[in-house]
Amino acid sequence: MFKKLSLTLAISGMLLGLSQTSAAARWDGADDLPVSPLACGSDSGGAAPAAMDYDGGQAVGAPDLAGKEITLVDVPKLIGIGYFAATTEGMRQAAEELGNVKVKTDGPTEANIDDQITFLDNFITQGVDGLLFAANDPVAIAPVLRTALEKGIHVVGYDANSEPDAREWFVNQAEFNGIAKSMMDSIVAEIGDDGSFAIVTSTFTTPNQARWIAEMQAYQEQCYPNAKWLETVEAQEDNILSFNQANTLMNKYGEDLQGLLGMTSVATPASAEAVTQAGLCGEVAVVGLATPNAMKPYVESDCVKSVVLWNPVDLGYAAVHVMRAVADGKFGPGASEVSAGRLGTLNVVNGSEVLLGAPYVFNKDNIGDFDF
């Protein structure tokens, strides 16, 4: 019998309503770009995507920086959370290894696109050789990034993309349809192929999450047509709001809610904590994207079975190597691969994206092997 939650959070109920009306996007938080769901089941194949022409931008009149020391600034969605602390560590490792790169991370303390633009604009004014970014909004961030390119500053994105012509390259942590498949297969393994689930995401305009959700919807409709997608709510990559939204969903749907999917490294542990505090471990499954360290208590207590991610340290590390190769003139339009230090050779996909690799599923058997 589904246990009644002891506390109903009125404020999160209000926020839940706002999340469904404040975004002009589709109800499920997805974008409206074309989707390419992978094959159902263990076969993750399908035809390899056709090669695309380079669709990124170019730094106008960039100085010759080949072999010279370069100064980079990294402006992620926000600072102060474990995920971007991990990407920052990867950048530090790459800079130390290369020896001719200085990199500094700074940005907003909340996932606010206006604040992020202000940071980027200030660094452009101060003058740097390159900007690294993870976008809070792909469209809103594009003008300031184009300004950087027009001033001869190299621009490389990672984690969350901008419009392609506003940066030279984007380091994609995993193919969107690969993340979608891992997420849906993992939740269905726990709740069954006719189970009901809801999603806690950041915002409906956050580019990587909107893309994952679009691909998840396509994969679910193709492979698990009887599964019930109840609702998607926004939580702004805020721990308290994510916790409240998870509680509100459990109160709203009761025993009809069998699973929660967290789309951010904040939403997933917050959802797991909400389920734990409600005494619903084993009744409401939690699957999501999160760092291993944040999820270890919930995995070790058997409240969470699966965590999907990539190594964010490697993501930051790859972004700096891509920037160094661009500055050296060794990586430009038409290239099909780039050398990335200890990661070896990374392939170009989708015209101007560098693919880090396939997603990884952490569980009780392996999560203890990772420390980030």
Q: Per-residue confidence of the chain (372 residues) as pLDDT tens digits?
A: 333 333 333 333 333 333 333 333 345 889 888 999 999 987 554 444 556 899 999 999 999 999 999 999 999 999 999 999 999 999 999 999 999 999 999 999 999 999 999 999 999 999 999 999 999 999 999 999 999 999 999 999 999 999 999 999 999 999 899 999 999 999 999 999 999 999 999 999 898 899 999 999 999 999 999 999 999 999 998 999 999 999 999 999 999 999 999 999 999 999 999 999 999 999 999 999 999 999 999 999 999 998 999 999 999 999 999 999 999 999 999 999 999 999 999 999 999 999 998 888 899 999 998 888
Rounded CA gap, 203 and 211, in Å? 12
Architecture (CATH level 2) of domain 70-174+312-357: 3-Layer(aba) Sandwich (3.40)
What integer pLDDT is reported at residue 52 of this predicted model? 86
Residue pointed to by tokens 């038409």? 334
Every domain range in the chain assigned CATH 3.40.50.2300: 10-30+175-309, 70-174+312-357
Backbone angles phi, psi at 193, to 5 degrees: -80, 0
What integer pLDDT is reported at residue 370 of this predicted model? 87
Check: CB of residue 312 under 8 Å from CB of residue 291: yes
What integer pLDDT is reported at residue 27 of this predicted model? 57
Backbone angles phi, psi at 232, to 5 degrees: -125, 130
What integer pLDDT is reported at residue 301 of this predicted model? 97
pTM for this prediction: 0.81
Check: CB of residue 118 under 8 Å from CB of residue 128: no
What integer pLDDT is reported at residue 288 of this predicted model? 96
Domain 10-30+175-309 CATH assignment equals 3.40.50.150: no
Torsion of CA 215, 156, 137, 182, to 10 degrees: 20
What integer pLDDT is reported at residue 371 of this predicted model? 86
Backbone angles phi, psi at 324, to 5 degrees: -60, -40
